[in-house]
Amino acid sequence: MLSDRVKKGLEKAPHRSLFRALGFTDGELERPLIGVVNSFNEIIPGHIHLRDISDAVKAGVRMAGGVPVEFPTIGICDGIAMNHRGMKYSLASRELIADSVEVMVEAHAFDGLVLVTACDKIVPGMLMAAARLNIPSIMISGGPMLAGRFQGRNVSLNSVFVGVGQVKAGAMTPEELAELEEVACPGCGSCAGMFTANSMNCLTEALGIALPGNGTIPAVSAARRRLAKLSGMRAVEMVKEQLTPSRIFTPAAIGNALTVDMALGCSTNTILHLTAIADEAGVELDLRGVNEISARTPNLCRLDPAGPFHLQDLDEAGGIPAVLNVLGEAGLVDGEALTVTGRTIKESVSGRAVRRPEVIRSTKDPHSPTGGLAILFGNLAPEGAVVKQAAVAPEMLTHRGPARVFESEEEAVAAIMNGAFERGDVLVIRYEGPRGGPGMQEMLTATATLAGLGRDRDVALLTDGRFSGATRGASIGHVSPEAAAKGPIAALQNGDLIEIDIPGRRLEVLLDEKEINARLASLPQWRPKISHGYLGRYATMVSSASKGAVFAKADTEHGSK
């Protein structure tokens, strides 16, 4: 066992004395040492109950003959961080999370890991660490929040963001918004729609790194606690089997995750995170290949914000096992990919039926014949840009309009709130990329306000930053290279005609290459908005969004020598 390096031998007597200070017995020192990484804190609704989940995990570890040792990592609530300086830290926190897990595991020689998580950057950060460390690892999330109820319909956090725009448009009263605010988030769990947190938790099942049910069983359910116990038990068994992430995070697993991503219509942020996880696992993920997967994968589910259903509906419909089974029967996923169960995907989901066909459609009657996400390329995005096409109104799938350029999210939101734009405009928000932001902050306020104003069907948004998984409309993010790296988006001027062709996977500005290059050459040298603290270091180290916004390696353009 790996933990023998801190437990066995004469020279480890001092180490054992420290374990004894923790209360360890001789018998416990003979058993596998399982790290339980708990991202509990008291600021994220998706994490507020994780002590409960962690306790269940530790019970499972003990039941299987292991010794659980809990340690923490940080987590940011994207909703609370939204639309102020705090959002710059959200994506940047992913690298800190991965690094902190690596540091704890390497320093203390754990035999295996259970990753207890729930939200946004915490899930991919932990998965990056698992791939990097390559010791037996399993993930258990805290589960999704139940939808709230407002005026006879199910609602979520996104409903409140949209409500702000509805009040501005006169479609909702301030009193109604206050009532909605009270009921939209009824308790613990990751926010109820197919936003980034739930997207990533669902994809852990497709990746094979979590047990069936991890993505959809509600946070408040006793079934979630049972799943946590089973995950703890399975971690001990995986140590004995030496079932490591390198056997799970294969090209087939990444392909399966992307396929489920397309079928569900997940958050655009999944492309950032799957690219980063693949990078840690040594698997190449070509963004043009994402379009190939999207082209052959039908969109089977429309969950909030793309449709009326929430994660509890998906769970009732059969969850990710049912989705995988439907896709498997159509030959769209690799059923031989290995999972933490010790069985293949095909074996793990065999017989899982769809119980609510209105939630999970068949491949013969999909919402659309192609997947929920699309990667656009062109002279505005040579390295790609991402759009959640499943949440775009049909009339906006192709669009040509004049650019209205903003140098920050704050500037753009002020203009949207004041109605300072015209029908058909393409609102461009730049210098919000990984380096330029820094931190590539989510911009849900901008997109949700437009939706609340009823303008998501006649105005497009374009950014080198990113949008929330709760976004709907023609909102195109991750434009790469970013403005701070003198990508073509930095050359745009008000009035330039931009052409969006989502079915054709194109994003173009109607300028010739000579004009674009001349404008870029005339720009002053970019200077970071923040040059101190962690964000200052992050801005100098982070790579392009097209590469997952990971820290650049030593031999790449932004890395140190």
Q: What residues are annotated to the active site?
A: 468
Phi first, then psi, for residue 228 (nearest 5°) are -65, -40
Instruction: Kindly report the number of other CB atoms within 10 A of residue 45's CB atom.
Output: 22
Angle among Cα 88, 90, 92 to the nearest 5 degrees reads 80
Taking CB atoms within 8 Å and a gap of at least 24, the contacts of 509-515 are 509/379, 509/380, 509/403, 511/379, 513/379, 515/491
Name every residue whose Cβ is closer than 8 Å to that of residue 38 and which is 6 or more positions away in sequence. 50, 51, 54, 70, 71, 72, 73, 116
Evaluate whether 350 touches 322 at the Cβ level (below 8 Å). no
Phi first, then psi, for residue 39 (nearest 5°) are -95, 25
Evaluate whether 207 touches 247 at the Cβ level (below 8 Å). no
Q: Nearest to residue 228, comparing CAs of 102, 349, 70, 344?
A: 70
Strand (E) or helix (H) holding 417: helix 409-417
Evaluate whether 218 touches 310 at the Cβ level (below 8 Å). no
Bond from prior residue into 438 cis (ω within 30 degrees of 0): yes
Name every residue whose Cβ is closer than 8 Å to that of residue 340 and which is 6 or more positions away in sequence. 138, 208, 209, 210, 211, 234, 238, 243, 248
Give counts: helices (H), strands (E), the chain: 20, 14
User: What is the b/e burial string over 169-207, where b = at least 16 CB atoms within 10 angstroms of the residue's CB?
Assistant: eeebeeeebeebeeebbbebbbbbbbbbbbbbbbbbbbb
**3-state SS, residue 155:** strand
Q: Which two tokens stand for residue 507?
A: 């994003």
Owner of token pair 């919000």: 432
User: How many whole angstroms separate alpha carbon 118 and alpha carbon 558?
Assistant: 31
Evaluate whether 259 touches 327 at the Cβ level (below 8 Å). yes
